[in-house]
């Protein structure tokens, strides 16, 4: 599963998910991409589950890129703990995804295979997505 090797601070604020993605909104590496159309947090487990479903279709013929990385720690306090005594310990990692962000890209597979792979992968993700094609300028 994806997770940073080293971080400057162990705990983060929640932040906001307003606005559109400023970077990573174009298909840069592959031919087709899976684009987020609503904001949300995608956990490392969800990214891994989607990656496995896409790699089943892509296999040896094509290539796949993961364009998001879970670098935000989410903390939890133990169950039945009283208020106070500081923030909880980091439990898992999430990637902050804003609308317009490309999550996955593939290349070297047919359109039907790509649609099947991205549809199955989108079922593993907690946000609405759409399939986009590369526009060469």
- For the chain, what are the domain ranges? 32-77+89-99+109-127
- Contact between 134 and 106 (Cβ < 8 Å): no
Average pLDDT score, the chain: 95
Q: What is the model's pLDDT at position 60?
A: 84
Q: Which fold has domain 32-77+89-99+109-127?
A: Aldehyde Oxidoreductase; domain 3 (3.90.1170)
Q: Tell me the C-alpha distance between 31 and 72, whole Å.
A: 29
Tens of pLDDT, residue by residue over 76-109, are 999 999 999 999 999 999 999 999 999 999 999 9
CA 45 to chain centre: 10
Q: What is the model's pLDDT at position 137?
A: 56
Question: What percentage of the chain has pLDDT greater than the value 90?
Answer: 93
Q: Which residues of the chain have pLDDT under 50?
A: none
The phi, psi pair for 115, rounded to 5°, reads -65, -40
């Amino acid at each position: 599963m994806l997770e940073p090797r080293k971080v400057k601070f162990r705990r983060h604020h929640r932040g906001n998910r307003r606005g559109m993605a400023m970077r990573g909104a174009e298909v840069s590496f592959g031919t087709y991409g899976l684009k987020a159309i609503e904001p949300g947090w995608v956990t490392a487990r969800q990214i891994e589950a989607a990656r496995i479903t896409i790699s089943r279709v892509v296999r040896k013929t094509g290539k796949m890129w993961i364009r998001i990385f879970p670098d935000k720690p989410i903390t939890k306090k133990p169950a039945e703990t009283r208020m106070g005594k500081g923030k909880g310990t980091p439990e898992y990692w999430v990637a902050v995804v804003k609308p317009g962000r490309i999550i996955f890209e593939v290349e070297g597979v047919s359109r039907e295979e790509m649609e099947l792979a991205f549809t199955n992968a989108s079922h593993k993700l907690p946000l609405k997505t759409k399939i986009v094609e590369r526009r060469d300028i």
